[in-house]
Amino acid sequence: MWCYRRMLRISWIQKVSNVRVLQRVGKNRELLQTIKQRKVAYLGHVLRHEKYHLLQLITMGKIAGKRRVGRRKKSWLRNIREWTNIASVEDLFRLAQDRKNFAKLTANLQ
């Protein structure tokens, strides 16, 4: 955003929103989309390979004991399930075994 503001010669004291700056430049916010795609692609990579068996167990497993008091954080896997609209983790793991379909899923994230 700083580079775009410099190119458009917008002073730091002017009240111009980031959305307006992006409209002037003709760009969209892409960072979150890139993060989603890379996160889902990495999960597919981990689920397909045998050498990541321990990481698969950690992803699937639950830790024994009670949670601490306080606000719960969204889990890494829960984010991916929301982005892909796949309800169960088992379906996600099964889909990851088929590289072509999983690549289509990763490309079509929004």
Q: pLDDT > 70: what percent of the chain?
A: 89
Contact criterion met (CB below 8 Å) for 36 and 108 = no
CA angle, 68 then 71 then 72, to 5°: 80
| Residues 37-58: tens digit of each pLDDT | 898 888 888 888 878 777 777 6
Q: pLDDT > 90: what percent of the chain?
A: 20
| Residues 22-39: tens digit of each pLDDT | 999 998 888 888 888 898
Number of C-alpha atoms within 13 angstroms, CB side, residue 9?
A: 0
The H-assigned helical ranges of 1-110 are: 2-7, 18-25, 31-48, 53-60, 76-84, 89-97, 99-107
pTM: 0.63
